[in-house]
């Protein structure tokens, strides 16, 4: 096989050079375009981070205002696209509906779908960012049988997404603000993570010079899997299962450690982080802030804390360097905000969108980029005869 080496899951293969995101998995460091994730989480907004990832620099005040106004001005969906979403199966998973809707944007906006034309790529970038929240909220309301809510351009990006989703149900302006800030922070923390499965997918699809909409739709489908973005839904289902079985975390951990069971501790472990996922620390603090406002301790959050504590004291997990990842605590926050588990991965997609776009655009301009075409080591039969 000459130069070909076996590398399942591309664990040791760099498929590109990139200037977008830096991760040091041993040290638990994550930076977007050089800025530490903690600083961005504290000081910036999701739209600033989206701009940073896509354009390489933080926007100045005027640039941010223009960017934000353009996004808001483009938030409404064309009538045919609304009709199309409303005709999708109501009991379909929201991630399936989301991937479908984004794929059709190449048809609804055919005049922005040419990947060879920079102006069209810029327009597609704007439309995707502007409309994904509108699409996601419409899908949510469709699946619960509620009338859709149209965008209100006077509201901020995240505020309006929450309003289109829930219709301003929280009642108090203070709670609305808290949830909008929490949502914004969660989107920042999910915005990019270099060559993860969905981003690698976007790049692979884009490498054939397929368009941005189709590449992003492919990323959405990759994100849906339970080992990737689907883990946030799986974590909450796991916590509910433990609660319903009486809340015994040790019994559950025994099952996880028994390889025969096929059960994994969801929200734990990471291909790159062999230390705390820096995002999980931020999310844990946010969960504490949001859930500690209640009079009663939140049952599932308490359970997650206990589960984490027991796992981190267990050599099975420490020997394998398995720590909580980004998905371990995000679900309890989404649940508190009123999202059903089936929407969790959609929220991940809203956050990851600027990362997907940034990578697709980086690859498009990379003179070293080639079509993605991995090799294999053939282990099937040698030549045999049809007649024999
Ligand atoms: N629970 C129990 N054992 C685990 C887990 C876990 N969550 N994760 C890894 N292991 C074990 C695995 O069985 C293996 O053990 P051994 O060496 O005895 O065979 C060892 O740890 C190494 O695991 P691996 O499967 O080779 O690791 P990987 O890099 O291929 O997989 C992962 C990474 C994230 C898919 C995996 O850790 C996992 O399945 N975690 C649970 C799902 C999850 O939380 N995914 C979200 C990832 S972060 C955000 C995102 O991408 O969406």
The atom number, within ligand 1, closest to the CA of 196 reads 51
Alpha carbons 164 and 148: distance in angstroms, whole number: 7
Assigned token pair, 355: 């990362």
Q: Quick one: pLDDT at residue 261?
A: 94
CATH number at residue 238: 1.10.230.10
Residue 210: which of 124, 81, 88 has the closest Cα? 124
Pocket of ligand 1 (CB under 6 A): 9, 196, 227-229, 231, 256, 264-271, 320, 322, 325-327
Spatial separation of the C-alpha atoms in residues 254 and 231, rounded to whole Å? 20
Annotated catalytic residues are: 270, 327
User: Which residues are within 8 A (CB) of 97 and not within 5 positions of it... i.e. 6 or more apart?
Assistant: 85, 88, 89, 139, 142, 143
Domain containing residue 213: CATH number? 1.10.580.10
Task: Decide: 201 and 222 in contact? Cβ < 8 Å.
Answer: yes
Q: Quick one: 52 and 199 in the same domain?
A: yes
If you measure from the C-alpha of residue 149 to the centroid of ligand 1, how many angstroms do you get, rounded to a whole number? 39
Please give the full DSSP string across 12-51, using - where no structure is assigned: T------SSEEEETTTTEEEETTEEHHHHHHH--HHHHHH
Residues 214 and 257 in one domain: no
Same domain, 84 and 185: yes
* pLDDT, tens only, 161-193: 999 999 976 668 888 899 999 999 999 999 999
Say whether both 186 and 272 belong to one domain: no
> Is 31 in the same domain as 122?
yes
Residues 198 and 239 in one domain: no
pLDDT digits 0-9 by tens, 11-47 = 999 999 999 999 999 999 999 999 999 999 999 999 9
Residue 124 sits in the same domain as residue 271: no
Give the distance (Å) from ligand 1 centre to CA of residue 266.
8
Backbone angles phi, psi at 209, to 5 degrees: 70, 30
Q: Per the structure block, which two tokens stand in for 317?
A: 């997990």
Is 372 among the domain residues?
Answer: no
Cα of 276 from ligand 1 centre, angstroms: 14
What per-residue confidence (pLDDT) applies to 169?
62
**Boundary (domain end) residue, out of 319, 337, 355:** 337
69 and 187 together in one domain: yes
Distance CA 232, CA 190 (A): 12
Q: What was the pLDDT predicted at 172?
A: 81
Q: Is residue 164 part of a domain?
A: yes
Angle at 186 between CA 281 and CA 82, to 5 degrees: 160
What residue numbers bound the domain in which 238 lies?
Answer: 231-337
With respect to residue 384, please indicate whether it lies within any of the assigned structural domains.
no
Q: Is residue 277 within 8 Å of residue 323, measured between CB atoms?
A: yes
Q: Tell me, yes or no, whether 192 lies in a domain.
A: yes
Mean pLDDT by 10 residues, the chain (388 residues): 86 96 95 98 97 98 97 98 98 98 98 98 98 98 97 96 87 86 97 98 98 98 93 93 96 96 95 91 92 87 96 97 94 94 96 98 98 96 90
How would you label 1-39 residue by residue, b for 16+ Cβ within 10 Å and e otherwise?
Answer: eeeeeeeeeeeeeebbebebbebeeeebebbbbebebee
Domain count, the chain: 2
Q: Specify the DSSP element, H or E, that contains 147.
A: none
187 and 47 share one domain: yes
Question: How many angstroms separate the CA atoms of 230 and 346, rounded?
Answer: 9
Same domain for 286 and 315, yes or no, is yes
For position 388, what pLDDT does the model report?
62
Q: What is the ipTM of this complex?
A: 0.97
Same domain, yes or no: 211 and 317: no
Q: What is the pLDDT of residue 2?
A: 65
Residues 205 and 293 in one domain: no
């Amino acid at each position: 096989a000459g130069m070909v080496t076996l590398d399942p899951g591309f664990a040791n293969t760099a498929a590109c050079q990139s200037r977008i995101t830096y991760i040091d998995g041993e040290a638990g460091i994550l930076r977007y375009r050089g800025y530490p994730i903690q600083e961005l989480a504290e000081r910036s907004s999701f739209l600033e981070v989206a701009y940073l990832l896509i354009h390489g620099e933080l926007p100045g005040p005027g640039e941010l205002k223009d960017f934000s106004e353009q996004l808001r001005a483009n938030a409404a969906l064309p009538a045919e696209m609304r009709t199309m979403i409303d005709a999708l199966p109501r009991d379909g998973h929201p991630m399936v509906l989301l991937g479908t809707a984004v794929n059709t944007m190449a048809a609804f906006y055919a005049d922005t779908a040419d990947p060879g034309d920079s102006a069209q790529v810029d327009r597609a970038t704007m439309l995707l960012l502007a409309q994904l929240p509108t699409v996601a909220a419409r899908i949510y309301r469709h699946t619960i049988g509620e009338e859709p809510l149209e965008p209100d351009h006077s509201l901020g990006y995240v505020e309006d997404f929450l309003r289109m989703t829930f219709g301003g149900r929280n009642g108090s302006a203070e709670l609305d603000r808290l949830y909008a800030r929490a949502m914004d922070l969660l989107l920042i923390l999910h915005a990019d993570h270099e060559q993860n499965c969905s981003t690698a997918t976007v790049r692979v699809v884009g490498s054939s010079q397929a368009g941005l909409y189709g590449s992003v739709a492919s990323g959405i489908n990759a994100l849906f899997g339970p080992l990737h973005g689907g883990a946030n839904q799986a974590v909450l289902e796991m916590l509910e299962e433990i609660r319903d079985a009486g809340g015994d975390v040790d019994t559950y951990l025994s099952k996880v450690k028994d390889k025969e069971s096929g059960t994994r501790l969801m929200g734990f472990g990471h291909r790159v982080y062999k230390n705390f996922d820096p995002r999980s620390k931020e999310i844990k603090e946010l969960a504490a802030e949001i859930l500690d406002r209640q009079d009663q301790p939140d049952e599932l959050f308490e359970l997650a804390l206990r589960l984490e504590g027991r796992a981190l004291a267990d050599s099975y997990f420490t020997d394998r360097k398995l720590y909580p990842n980004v998905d371990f605590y995000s679900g309890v926050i989404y649940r508190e905000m009123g999202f059903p588990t089936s929407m969790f991965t959609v929220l991940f997609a809203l956050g990851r969108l600027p990362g997907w776009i940034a990578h697709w655009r980086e690859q498009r301009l990379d003179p070293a980029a080639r079509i993605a075409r991995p090799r294999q080591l053939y282990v099937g039969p040698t030549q045999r005869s049809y007649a024999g």
